[in-house]
Structure 1
Amino acid sequence: MDTSPIRNMKDSSETSESEYSSSDEELQEAFAKGLLKPGLNVAVETNNKQFKNCVNLMKQKLSEIKLNLPWIERLDMVNAPAPLAPELALQMEEQEVRRAKQLQGNKKLPQYKTSQDPVLNDFRRETMFHRQAQGAVMDGIARLKKLGIPTFRPDDYFAEMAKSDEHMQKVRVNLMKKQAMAQRSDKVRQMRQQKKVAKQMQVEATLKKHAEKRKVLEEVKKYRKGIRQDLDFLEDKKKPQNKQPNKMNPKAQMKAKIKTSKYGFGGKKRRSKWNTSSSSANVSEYRKPQKPGRGKQGKGGKVKPRLGKNRRIQIKARSKKRLQ
């Protein structure tokens, strides 16, 4: 049997393995010496396209497509934005403060600065659009008047809105809800503040009352021990206010004078039945109490005995019948 093809295959495999191992060794030696460079082993795609900002070509293209028409046909405006209204500036400041508090209170939100807040940036961007359009309108109307072109607004003119009426109604309802919630929170905060102030005033009044009471008790102790001889601390130190007499007109004075001459001044009504030192010392109406057993006597000087209970009831019944 002829085995030469098999021997030839073995020899070819041995030579390929030796060549592969020798190539690996050569690569390792070249890498260690630093002879390998980028692009030698991997094919690097190079883009030869060069991007240039050719201003001359751009101007040439602009001049080709530009139409030399009068301004009234083009109506293009290059102007500065209109000045910011005070109400809009105040609203922007309030929104900045509110958003800053919201970002500081919520730790989950990213800690933006007020100028870097995306919500405020959107609001400022919309405000800039509005101011830019307003400035263009102001300058454009002045320019049209200068050219002698009349301007008017039709009665049936309606500007097309970017958003539908339903969407704007939802936005309005949402804003009204937020405003109502803010007003409610303000009222609750004011009521809470008023309660705190009232409680503080009550505590101060109680402390003042206790201090006055403590002071009076100390003065009483001094008086009992003999350190203090007068009781001036018990008198009210408030000075009585001098009441000015009511000034009456002459007609009323004459009427009061006639009543006084006829009926007198009337005198004091309050505390008229209270005892005084003279009334308590008066014993002219005092009667000596009688001895027991000398009450009402009948004929002959004998004391009438009291009737029984049944007899008294019968007498009362008879008297009632007579009255009826």
Structure 2
Amino acid sequence: MGEQERLRELELRNTTKKYDILGEQERLRELELRNTIKKYDIVYLGEQERLRELELRNTTKKYDILGEQERLRELELRNTTKKGKPVPSLETDTVFNDFKREMMFHRQAQAAVLIGMPRLKELGVGTRRPDDYFAQMAKTDQHMQKVRENLQKKQFEQARSEKAKKQRQLRKMGKQIQVQTKLRRESEKRQLAEEVKKYRKGLRTDLDFLEDNKKRRPTVAGQKKLPTRNKTQAKRDYKDKKFGFGGKKRGLKTNTKESSADFADYRHPKKPTKGQQQRPGKSKRMKMSSKKRR
């Protein structure tokens, strides 16, 4: 019995050596990757991980204890499920493992680069752009002109809206100032009326409140106006200095104490004389003509 078992084991080994296609393919890929890394001195994390994965596969094939346990569990579960269907697992499916899926894409791209670059060099196809390469613009000048006009339009509309906002704010401020001045004038008017009432009743003998009211009149928005000299006044002063001052003419025709007491030039008004007689009415003229005929 022992000899028969040994013979069967040897036959199985020979058959696996003959028909071990997948194992040979993996070994060839491993050798190609190692040769490319040595040849081009390129070390990629993805290729290193691939090599580690292949080594782990070889070790797990030799000492695949956990794998056997998982297969046994899966067989037990298949027996428990209906119609012998396997239980769907999310962990083993690469669709739900984002990291593994992205790493597969990364490795595929790296392998394509490692295979494609040497072939392109053999064929004499250039893989680098020259220093004096002039790339064509993706968008035409007409398109960029439209973009520029659109941006200018937006900028103009924004400036116009900001200007309108400022105008509205100024109007609000002007209205507020008008309301403030109106309220202030009403309060001053009320105070002045009260002071006048007190003066009439005899509660107050001085008229200082009139002068205070004149002094109290502030300018717009409560700002004090600085004394400004008019240009015409400066011109007038220069001419007076050059040609002399001809005397004050304003107020020459106003009355004085002496002129109001002087009656030398006073003349009594004449009595009203009878003016030209008015023409009588039609009825009176008819009567007068009838009398003359008689």
Relative to the length of structure 2, the TM-score reads 0.43
Relative to the length of structure 1, the TM-score reads 0.39
More helix by share: 2
